[in-house]
Amino acid sequence: MESLARFLNKLRIYSHREDFSLELDEEMAFHREQREEDLREDGVSAEVAHHAAMREFGNAARLKDQVEEIVGFSFETVLQDFRYALRQLRRNPGFAFAVILILGLGIGATTAIFSVVNPILFKSLPYPQPDRIMTLQEIGSDGSHLQGTFGMYRGLLERTRLFESMAVLKPWQPAIIGTRAPERLDGQRVSASFFHVLGVAPALGRDFNAADDRRNGPNVVLLSNALWQKHFAGDPAIIGRQVTLDDSVNDAPIQRGSYLVIGVMPQSFDDVLAPAAQLWSPLQYDMSTEFPAWGHVMRTVGRLRPGVSVDQASREINELGQAVLKEQHPVSYGRHVQFITSSLQDDLTRSVKPALLAVLGAVLLVLVIACVNVTNLLLARGVQRRGEFAMRAALGAGRSRLIRQLLTESLLLAAIGGAVGIAVAKLGVRALVTISPVGLPRVGTIGIDSSVFAFGLGITTLIGLLFGLTPALQAARSDPNRDLQQGARSIAGGNRRTRGALVTAEVALALVLLICSGLLLRSLERLIAVTPGFDSSNMLTMQVQTSGHRFDDNDSTFRFFDQALEAVRHVPGVTTAGMSSELPLSGDLEEYGAHFEATPTQTADSDSVFRYAVTPGYLETIRIPLLRGRLLNDHDRSGAPRVVLISESIAKLRFPGVDPIGKRIGIGPDDGQPFTIVGVVGDVKQMSLALNQSEAVYISESQSWFADSAMSLVVRGRGDAAALAAAIHQAIWAVDKDQLIERVATMDSLLAASEAQRHFALLLFEGFALVALLLAAAGIYGVLAGSVAERTREIGVRAALGASRSNILALIFRQGMRLTITGVAFGLIASIAASQALVSLLFGVSRLDPVTYLGVIVLLIAVSAVACWVPAWRAARVDPASTLRAG
Amino acid sequence: MAKKTDLMPGTLDMLILKTLTRTPLHGYGIALSIKRISDDVLTVEEGSLYPALQRLLLQGWVKAEWRQTETNRRARFYTLTLTGRKQLSRELSQFDQMVAAIGRVLQDA
């Protein structure tokens, strides 16, 4: 505690610092002279007395230092240390730059990645008791995940005892008309209890109730806060007003009309099931005209009663689900369907979790490598500065003062590195969000994670303190005399071994990262080499949507698409064009049940298949090969016998050794007319290049049991198909200018987008692996260069004793390569273990793929050979005469 | 450097204050006086003396002024202040208590 008097005294001294210093000098000089005089009076000779007095008095500079510390304010020495530290860093900018860069990158990259991963994987959903919210899915006989059917939802809802509420939902893209230019919005059609399942209530107005969610119920809508602000300026009087929405994209019921706004959701509400959703309307499922037991298009969610475990719920749903199936499909019941009940959190993150965890692991490795590198740099610098510290100790710097000095330097480095780290993290997060694949959940909540940043900064600072201090402790412990004489040349063997071990660790870690990214790269290569089953090159695709009351009946919808297609075919430059309800690798997913009749070898069975309702010309344009029979043509219209093309996989699975042509299958509702198989076509990748799910049927659009209100157009032309986009727009609008054209993309870009997630992981891994490789190379170079500088004299002696340049070159080179090879050996073991974590991201490549391992090892050794060569070459140039003379 | 008899920690300030009760002295004089009175048992190192004097100055227990010595040289003389005197008596009574306590323990042993 500093009393007021003390403080004032200090202040007085502070303002007369010069005088104080002079007086102290004089006082000490007086002391020494007085002692000298006394000694002389005792009969000691003048010279001896002088030296004795000097010696007895001891180190005047240190004494003065101590006194000044007592009378000075504590910030003064801090400032002094700070100035000195800055000077030190400026004197050695290469070192400072390297440390700051490594720290900045390490801290920044870790913070950025963790900031992205944390909200997605680890932060719980923004709803009350989020662990009670479940999603329900079915697993088909081929192991694929399916959404539920409306019939299943109703069946489960009637029977469940463990769920408090359940809801189904499906996407909805109405256009809002009136207030501004028409705008297509993302929304959801939900059953009445959807918001109850989430545990969220509107901020204004009311939630949906059962009366809203009936067939032919009232047109009501809930708005998001953002939509309310944007279109209605946040006017609370919006409740009870009508808005005009055109939602004709959805199958049925087709509606363009007035919707009553009944509420506005809270600003904080984040619909994790559809992050872009801005409005919600009741599902109003029509049990009488639709086919509730078919169409796996309903996302099903439920809220568990308190205290019910996921396991209990899972068992209940499986049991009840089987009962519902038996009731709904009495004929075909018996196929293996399983139900999965998982928490919404797990369901949302399941697809991205492996990639994100792998990336997180990679960035942690980079942080470790960065730490190792900084440690190495600090140790090397400590050795270089031994002379300096010995000098300062001899000149009277106390041990605590030296340590404090080094602490200041380390903290300064850590602080600047941290500042760079924040900048890197900010840029990194922004870049990551930008390049993140579409469909990464909860991207909106991503921000810099301050606790992670603190962690990264803390770790690196700790390392700085620990290893930056070593030289000071050594200097304080060791004999200044010897260190001064030997200067930086003397190096503790222990230190050199430590640094060697660190470099080995760096090489090993870099190898792990390189092998992981190598495996991912090879997987991506394999994937790209997978043929999607059609010719994706130079093909333009777009989705054409019908809207308006005049499409209320199927025939006018069919007619519009026919006319639009015809118009497109007449666009100059277009060679072929066709339409399909479903486009491969576009995210479209439309599955229906297919019923196979009993054959002599197989019993009757049902399975879900992809349904492609196509126009003639679609298969020709996309170039799916015809294997048997014929393709669809203009005669396969409504009224004509229903025909179907099946994929090769169905032919193999359902008609082994039999000619499927002429056989009949039921598709869709049980009561429909069966389809006759007229052709077999090649398999197509629908969901992803990596998935083999390819059982598909192609029917003629006009023979379908309902008219799709949106069709994807595929166009091939002479030259660049993408250049035709504008002309095609015009042609379609010439038929009907009110129709929406969306999702314009080349097939190649759809193909790339379908692998975006893998690409994303690969991109990050490549980045990290590159950084790791550079850091490892820098580490090897640093250690060898330092070692050559320290051993200049020894090398000179060797040269003088007859060692040739190549001998010396080999000596240093071997030293570096030994570190590399040891690192590679450890790295191999670590890689074999680490690659286990990547398995789910790999495709067509074993995690122990020898080509990758070999390639990476060769690459790493080559790079480190270059890093070794430079110092070795420098060592070989050492002039023996000059070094020996200098020593 | 020869090994010196270490002072008990915290006693240096007290010794300096006590030495100054008789007459103002300069730093060298204080060191000499302590050494002489203790029959050469207690040696005050310059390395502790001058920092200690600055500490006492800051606390306001002593004050310093430049004066002429008997040999006509300029030296900084330290004088005990009133608060210094109070501090000394406080420290002395604490010291006495401690010595008595140590004595009792040693006798008992």
Cα–Cα distance between A608 and A166 in angstroms, integer?
24
One DSSP character per residue, A175-213 reads EEESSSS-EE--EEEE-TTHHHHHT---SEE----TTTS
Q: Do B46 and A10 touch (CB under 8 A)?
A: no
Question: Range with the lowest mean pLDDT among A373-387, A439-453, A511-525, A638-652?
Answer: A439-453
* C-alpha to C-alpha distances, A259 to A167, A238, A245, A560, A799, nearest whole angstrom: 22, 12, 7, 27, 93
> Which pLDDT band holds residue A491 (cuts at 50, 70, 90)?
very low
- Determine contact: A55 vs chain B, CB below 8 A: yes
- Cα-trace Rg, chain B: 15
CB contact under 8 A, A6 and B73: no
Q: In A, which residues are within 8 Å of B45 by CB distance?
A: 58
Residue A299 CA to residue A167 CA, distance in Å, equals 8
A96-110, A477-491, A785-799: which has the minimum mean pLDDT? A477-491
pLDDT value of position A716: 93
Identity of the residue in A57, A70, A71 whose CB atom sits nearest the CB atom of B46: A57
pLDDT attached to residue A10: 81
Choosing among A16, A34, A68, which should be mutated to test the B contact, i.e. which has the most B CBs within 10 A? A34
Judged by CB atoms closer than 8 Å, whether chains meet at B58 and A57 is answered as: no
Q: Which one-letter DSSP state was computed for residue A125? A: P
Contact B35, B43 (CB under 8 A): yes
The Cα A150–Cα A296 span in angstroms is 8
Q: How many residues does chain B have?
A: 109
Contact B76 A27 (CB under 8 A): yes
Instruction: Tell me which residue in B47, B57, B76 faces A58 most closely, judged by beta carbons.
Output: B47
Q: What angle do CA A689, A695, A701 make, to 5 degrees?
A: 105
Q: Mutate which of A70, A71, A73, A74 to disrupt the B interface (most B C-beta within 10 Å)? A: A70
Q: Is A10–B74 a contact, with Cβ atoms under 8 angstroms apart?
A: no
Query: A374 and A102 in contact (C-beta within 8 Å)?
Result: yes
Q: Do B55 and A70 touch (CB under 8 A)?
A: yes
Q: Are B59 and A5 in contact (CB < 8 Å)?
A: yes
Q: What is the arithmetic mean of pLDDT over A78-82?
A: 79
**For residue A332, what pLDDT is reported?**
61
Q: Which residues of A touch B32 (CB under 8 A)?
A: 38
Residues in chain B with CB shorter than 8 Å from the CB of A52 are none
Cβ contacts below 8 Å, chain A against chain B, sum to 63
Quick one: pLDDT at residue A587? 74
Tell which wins on pLDDT, A249 or A839: A839
d(CA A96, CA A79): 19
Q: Please tell me the predicted confidence (pLDDT) of residue A699.
A: 93
Q: What is the pLDDT of residue A471?
A: 65
What's the one-letter identity of residue A292?
P
CA distance A35 to A455: 58
Model pLDDT, residue A440: 65
State which of A5-9, A768-772, B24-28, B70-74 shows the largest mean pLDDT: B24-28
The Cα A550–Cα A559 span in angstroms is: 11
Q: Which residues have a Cβ under 8 Å from the Cβ of A682 and sit 6 or more positions away?
A: A533, A534, A624, A625, A627, A647, A648
pLDDT given at position A249: 42
pTM higher than 0.80 = no
Q: What is the pLDDT of residue A490?
A: 47
Residue closest to A109 by CA, chosen among A368, A327, A308, A313:
A368
pLDDT cut 90: percent of chain B above it: 28
Query: In the prediction, which pLDDT does B71 show?
Result: 82
Residue A410 predicted with pLDDT over 70: yes
Query: Is B50 close to A24, i.e. CB distance below 8 A?
Result: yes
Residue A90 DSSP class = H
Flag whether pLDDT at A858 surpasses 90.
yes
- Mode of pairing for the β-strands spanning A187-190 and A279-282: parallel
Q: Mean pLDDT, to the nearest integer, of B92-107?
A: 88
Residue A4 burial by Cβ neighbours in a 10 Å radius (0-12, 13-18, 19+): exposed
The phi and psi torsions of B60 (rounded to 5 degrees) equal 80, 20
Closest-CA distance of chain B to residue A8, Å: 9
> Which strands, in side-by-side order, build the sheet including B62-68?
B25-26, B74-80, B62-68
State which residue of chain B sits closest to A23, comparing Cα positions: B76
- Is the pLDDT score of A158 beyond 80? yes
Place of tokens 């393709």: A631
CB contact under 8 A, A30 and B73: yes
For residues A408 and A350, give the distance between their C-alpha atoms in angstroms, rounded to a whole number. Answer: 46
**Residue A174 to residue A167: CA distance in whole angstroms:** 21
Greater confidence, A524 or B26?
A: B26
Q: Could you tell me which chain A residue has the CA closest to the CA of B43? A: A56
| Measured torsion, CA atoms of residues A481, A483, A486, A487, in degrees rounded to the nearest 10 | -120
Q: Other C-beta atoms within 10 Å of A448: how many?
A: 16
Question: Are the C-beta atoms of residues A516 and A835 closer than 8 Å to each other?
Answer: yes
- CA A586, A689, A695, A721 dihedral sign is positive
What mean pLDDT comes out for the span A783-793? 76
Q: Work out the pLDDT band at A288, boundaries 50, 70, 90.
A: low
Name the band, by pLDDT with cuts 50, 70 and 90, for residue A254: very low
Mean pLDDT value across residues B20-49: 88
| Percentage, residues of chain A above pLDDT 90 | 21
| Mean pLDDT along residues A768-773 | 82
Q: Which of A28, A55, A71 sits opposite B54 (nearest CB)?
A: A71
Residue with tokens 């005990």: B80
For every residue of A385-416, DSSP letters joined together read THHHHHHHHHTT--HHHHHHHHHHHHHHHHHH
Question: Does the pLDDT at position A179 exceed 70?
Answer: no
Q: What is the pLDDT of residue B98?
A: 87
User: DSSP character for A148?
Assistant: B
Long-range contact set of residues A844-847: C-beta below 8 Å, sequence gap at least 24 = A844/A523, A844/A526, A844/A527, A844/A530, A845/A519, A845/A522, A845/A523, A845/A526, A847/A519
Q: What 3-state class would DSSP assign to A576?
A: strand
> Rg for chain A (alpha carbons), in Å?
38
| Distance from C-alpha of A311 to C-alpha of A776, rounded to nearest angstrom | 48
CB contact under 8 A, A55 and B28: no
Of A6, A33, A59, which has the smallest distance from its Cβ to B58's Cβ? A6
CB-nearest to B28 from A3, A10, A30 is A30
**Strand pairing report for A220-223 and A256-264:** parallel
Instruction: Supply the pLDDT for residue A289.
Output: 58
What percent of chain A shows pLDDT beyond 70?
Answer: 89
Q: Rounded distance, CA A327 to CA A325, Å?
A: 5
Interface touch B51/A62, C-beta < 8 Å: no
Does the pLDDT of residue A676 top 90, yes or no?
Answer: yes
Distance CA A640, CA A92 (A): 86
Separation of alpha carbons A569 and A728, rounded Å = 9
In chain A, the residue whose alpha carbon lies closest to the alpha carbon of B1 is A56
Three-state DSSP state, A871: helix
Q: What is the ipTM of this complex?
A: 0.84
| Cβ–Cβ contact A62 with B under 8 A | yes
How high is the pLDDT of residue A248?
Answer: 52
Q: Which of B54, B57, B75 sits opposite A30 (nearest CB)?
A: B75
Q: Left (φ > 0), alpha (ψ -120 to 50) or beta: where does A233 sit?
A: left
Between the alpha carbon of residue A645 and those of residues A354, A625, A672, A695, the distances in Å are: 37, 12, 17, 11
Burial class (CB in 10 A: 0-12, 13-18, 19+), A533: buried
Q: State residue A307 phi and psi, 5-degree precision.
A: 85, 0
* Confidence bin at A251 (pLDDT 50/70/90): very low
pLDDT (mean) for A191-202: 93
What pLDDT does A334 receive? 55
- Residues A141, A194 contacting (CB under 8 angstroms): no
* Helix residue spans in A791-804 (DSSP H): 792-800
Q: Where does residue A643 rank: exposed (0-12), middle (13-18), buried (19+ CB within 10 A)?
A: buried
- Enter the DSSP assignment of A581: S
Residue A250, pLDDT score: 41
User: Is residue A45's pLDDT more than 80?
Assistant: yes
Q: Which residues of A touch B55 (CB under 8 A)?
A: 70
| Residue A335 DSSP class | S
- A738–B contact, CB cutoff 8 A: no
**Concatenated DSSP letters of B45-96:** -HHHHHHHHHHHHHHTSEEEEEEE-TTS-EEEEEEE-HHHHHHHHHHHHHHH
Q: Where is pLDDT greater, at A234 or A383?
A: A234
A608-641 per-residue burial string, b: 16 or more CB within 10 A, e: under 16: bbbbbbbbbbbbbbbbbeeebbebbeeebeeeee
- A146-150, A333-337, A355-359, A692-696, range with the lowest pLDDT: A333-337
Q: Is the pLDDT of residue B44 over 80?
A: yes
The larger pLDDT score, comparing residue A757 to residue B105, is at B105
* Residues of chain B positioned with their CB less than 8 A from the CB of A23: 66, 76
Closest CA relative to residue A507, chosen from A171, A774, A198, A765: A774
Q: How far is CA A518 from the centre of its chain?
A: 18
Q: Evaluate if residue A198 carries a pLDDT over 90.
A: yes
- Taking the C-alpha atoms of residue A155 and residue A522, their distance in angstroms, rounded to an integer, is 46
Of A193-202, A600-609, A813-822, the poorest mean pLDDT is in A600-609
Q: Do A31 and B27 touch (CB under 8 A)?
A: yes
The DSSP symbol for A83 reads H
pLDDT of the residue at A489: 47
* Model pLDDT, residue A687: 78
Whether residues B59 and A34 touch (CB distance < 8 A) is answered with: no
For tokens 């066709």, the residue is A578
B73–A70 C-beta distance less than 8 A: no
With CA atoms as reference, report the closest residue to A198 among A91, A117, A277, A95: A277
